[in-house]
Structure 1
Amino acid sequence: MSDDTDDEALYPNRGRATRPTGVSRRRLLSGSAAAGAAVTAGCMGSTTDDSGGDGDAEGTIFVFNTDEKTVSVIDAATHEVVATPHLGATASFPSNQYAPGLTDEPTDPLWLNVDRGVRAIEVGSLSSVAAVETGSGANWQELTPDGAHLVVSAREPAHTQYRIDADRESRSFGEVTAEIDRADEGGIGDRDGPGPCDVTIHPDGAYAYVPDIFGDTLSVIDVEAFELAEQVAVSPTDGADAARPWMGTAAPDGETLLVEHDEGATGTESVWDVSDPAAPVERARLTADDGLGRRPLTSEIGPDSAFGYVFTPGSNDVTVLDLDAGTVADRLDVGGSAFVGTWGPSRERLYAPVQTADEVAVIDHADREVVETIPVGSRPYGATAATARPDGDAAANVRGTMASLGIDLDDGGTTYCIGNCACGHRL
């Protein structure tokens, strides 16, 4: 971790214990029933359930419980948690922009940010099948729409972009195929690089967008050539000393890009025109005065590209944006701090893990409202989806129950996140 800042937003857990130790009585009581269910658990890969729902019709939601390193496996048709196996790792920002439509076989991988790099776990077995160390503890990754590449942003001290072969059938699967060392760009003040933070990919697959939190720039990467195609200076709003863009999401129709900013006292949101994918143009900047929630961190965009959902954990809500108008349309109370979310494979519902409530808020896109909450594990953070499901593993489920009771099973597999959870902060 850099010693030149005590920024609470970037390093909220500095000096804090990552999680309580010992066995929690509350968890012991709530986990007793789960222990019996875990011992008798059958195959998670079943496509039907007793309610008659088709488990593959909407697929599977994966929610990573950072406090216990388990993953809640949710049937997206019934909204039931069908298993909570111990993963031995956790993820705050898994690849989820195109993963729900690409991950349809048990041998397909989910890509996670774990420890000081990224890791691929096979859906069927939940075993690690690839891992790349990046030289940073703060990593974000996204698959290209065709699933051929994984583009990675490794923030300080690496300040590096990586392209990894994500084709499971390729002989070079999991290997770095290109990289861009960006440290020589420098950063604001005495920063030693631009701080590439997050990555989102245009639906045509040709360009990736990277907000640079220490560079006050939005970088456009040519995915095939793997070089900077364009870099746009991002100006701060009146009264702010820096724009600090740090997260972003490209719309499915390829016309709009949302960028979150750790700017000022409450954060801001910008709306960009990317109809020319290589030349983004900012067309709106929203602040608290416009109705934006506090501390915007990440966003997702609806299937019709008309509305954006900005996770604003500082005000315990999700801010809904009208993208055409560039205005705040609504604020959805999710009952706690939700930092990220994922669409199900059908892209009809948005799933937002509420870290402070140990549940997932389900947002229906048609009505743009929270329609249900799903109890999950402790301190859920990252989420992604697939149309495949893990095979049943009674041992993993038992270990998951043990972890939910507060029993520490290992010390590895941490993740970087903006919030108080079992995260790794050695950047």
Structure 2
Amino acid sequence: MGDDVDDVLFPNHGDDGRAAVSRRTLLAGSMAAGAAATAGCAGADTDGSNGDDGGDESSATVFVFNTGDKTISIVDVASDEVVATTQSRLTASFPSNQYAPTLTAEETDPLWLNVDEGVRALEVGSLSTVAAVETGTGANWQEVTPDGRHLVVSAREPSHAQYRVDADPGSDSFGDVTATIDRTDEGGRGDNDGPGPCDVTIHPGGEYAYVPDLYGDTLTVVDIEAFEIETQVEVDPVESGTAPAPWMGTAAGDGETLLVENNEGETGTESIWDVSDPASPTEVTRLTSDDGLGSLPLTSEIGPDSAVGYVFTPETEDISVIDIEAGAVAGRIDLGGKAFVGTWDPAHEKLYVPVQTADEVAVVDHAARAVTETLDVGPDPYGATAAAVRPEVDTSDSRLERLTALGVDPDSGTSYCIGECACGHEW
């Protein structure tokens, strides 16, 4: 890569390299570490459970991925307390979190993460790896369909591909790639060798996935069952001669609206799309800094009533709150640091936002539209997702010593998006 690389897209491009890891060693070590995570835990029943069925409200959990030391902080939603931080040897910046909080209700259900040059599933009860798919790129985003059957993956350069993976842990083909769309022949802006599919969000009807194309300046609609491109909409720039560069998106739960973040101009823009006809999205509004939008809109989440959008704007260290019906910025929530993503709890009442530069998680109460708690977590927290069950983890001081004895080096293994990483690596 040359010296003129966009630091927003590739903030780690100056690194000399990354640890080389054997996939076989990783999977074996991950299973061993998962066993260690449940062994000898105070309060755990002999079957490794928490003494409940794993699906009640008291087990609602948020998982925060600390990129600084590859740990996972486990947050109890009921008390808004960090109950444990455990070594994982991997980290994720954009874990699947659109439907995962309600789909992940059993100990054997998977959490899907973007890790290294692919995606990976961790069994929520043990945090051990149960599936891994290599995509040939370090820039990956993934979401599970509302019924939990499929995982749809966007793999940016050099792959420029969409993958469909069997996400049903009860299936004989769980973790297998069931369909692929090679998109390299579309080309991309400038000298890019493809459209740069960047992020994926799924309509609540489960039939279509929406993919913002960073280098194609398009919004692509994928028919999930047929796994083919249904529609592709050109995204026009706000100003002539600039690239709209759509890169992230979130579909609302009512199936009417899609929010798309654009890496456009100096400060970025936010688009509101009408997806009431899911196969034919239409852009309704484009918000800019002149409308009160914070700087560098990166990702978004949408409130439980589908009326309010929360757009993470890290350059201004806040959240831009969007009144979707009015198509306007309704306010800003100060975070006191840079945050790139967030996740809802399983009840979809509180938004948990890792503030990467403050080593904490801000808890945003949807009803109050305000931060009501801040939780100390590990260094450089980035990605977050949630589940209705909670693993048992060993929080004793001997945790890392036992991992070392098992042959698992906590400083090796795979990782993705270390530090202030917005949209992935290019190796």
TM-score above 0.5, yes or no: yes
2:394 is the counterpart of 1:390: no
Q: Please state how far the C-alpha of 1:418 moved relative to its aligned partner.
A: 7.4
In structure 2, the CA distance between the partners of 1:255 and 1:41, relative to structure 1 (3 Å rule), is same
2:37 is the counterpart of 1:13: no
Q: Please state how far the C-alpha of 1:56 moved relative to its aligned partner.
A: 3.0
- Name the structure 2 match of 1:321: 322
Say whether the 8 Å CA contact 1:73–1:84 is kept in structure 2. Answer: yes
Q: Please state how far the C-alpha of 1:176 moved relative to its aligned partner.
A: 0.2
Q: Please state how far the C-alpha of 1:239 moved relative to its aligned partner.
A: 5.0
- Name the structure 1 match of 2:124: 123
Say whether the 8 Å CA contact 1:141–1:198 is kept in structure 2. Answer: yes
Q: Distance in 2 between matches of 1:41 and 1:239?
A: 62
- Name the structure 1 match of 2:304: 303
Matches within 5 A, 1:33-112: 41-43=42-44, 45-46=49-50, 56-57=57-58, 59-112=60-113
Q: Please state how far the C-alpha of 1:283 moved relative to its aligned partner.
A: 0.4
**Letter in structure 1 aligned against 2:425:** H
Q: Distance in 2 between matches of 1:81 and 1:346?
A: 18
**Letter in structure 2 aligned against 1:144:** T
Q: 58-67 or 86-95: which moved more?
A: 58-67
- Name the structure 2 match of 1:255: 256
**Letter in structure 2 aligned against 1:127:** S
2:403 is the counterpart of 1:425: no
Query: What SS class does the counterpart of residue 215 from structure 1 fall into?
Result: coil
CA-to-partner distance for each residue in 1:29-51, whole Å, 9 max, x for gaps?
xxxxxxxxx99754395369xxx
- Name the structure 1 match of 2:239: 238
Q: Distance in 2 between matches of 1:338 and 1:301?
A: 16
Say whether the 8 Å CA contact 2:67–2:419 is kept in structure 1. Answer: no
Query: What SS class does the counterpart of residue 86 from structure 2 fall into?
Result: coil
Query: What SS class does the counterpart of residue 87 from structure 2 fall into?
Result: coil
Query: What SS class does the counterpart of residue 151 from structure 2 fall into?
Result: strand
Say whether the 8 Å CA contact 2:185–2:194 is kept in structure 1. Answer: yes
**Letter in structure 1 aligned against 2:144:** L
Matches within 5 A, 1:287-302: 287-302=288-303
- Name the structure 2 match of 1:164: 165
2:278 is the counterpart of 1:277: yes
In structure 2, the CA distance between the partners of 1:245 and 1:75, relative to structure 1 (3 Å rule), is same
Q: Please state how far the C-alpha of 1:426 moved relative to its aligned partner.
A: 4.3
In structure 2, the CA distance between the partners of 1:243 and 1:377, relative to structure 1 (3 Å rule), is same
In structure 2, the CA distance between the partners of 1:424 and 1:252, relative to structure 1 (3 Å rule), is closer
Q: Distance in 2 between matches of 1:424 and 1:234?
A: 22
Q: Please state how far the C-alpha of 1:229 moved relative to its aligned partner.
A: 0.0
- Name the structure 2 match of 1:365: 366
Q: Please state how far the C-alpha of 1:8 moved relative to its aligned partner.
A: 1.5
2:269 is the counterpart of 1:268: yes
**Letter in structure 2 aligned against 1:281:** T
Q: Distance in 2 between matches of 1:192 and 1:4?
A: 19
Q: Distance in 1 between matches of 2:413 and 2:51?
A: 33
Unmatched runs of 5 consecutive residues or more in structure 1: 20-37, 49-53
**Letter in structure 1 aligned against 2:247:** W
In structure 2, the CA distance between the partners of 1:375 and 1:318, relative to structure 1 (3 Å rule), is same
In structure 2, the CA distance between the partners of 1:396 and 1:215, relative to structure 1 (3 Å rule), is farther
Percent of matched pairs sharing the same residue = 64
Say whether the 8 Å CA contact 2:309–2:324 is kept in structure 1. Answer: yes
**Letter in structure 2 aligned against 1:425:** H
CA-to-partner distance for each residue in 1:12-42, whole Å, 9 max, x for gaps?
22215899xxxxxxxxxxxxxxxxxx99754
Superposition RMSD in Å:
2.6
Aligned length: 399
**Letter in structure 2 aligned against 1:67:** G
Query: What SS class does the counterpart of residue 399 from structure 2 fall into?
Result: helix
Q: Distance in 2 between matches of 1:389 and 1:58?
A: 6
**Letter in structure 2 aligned against 1:118:** V
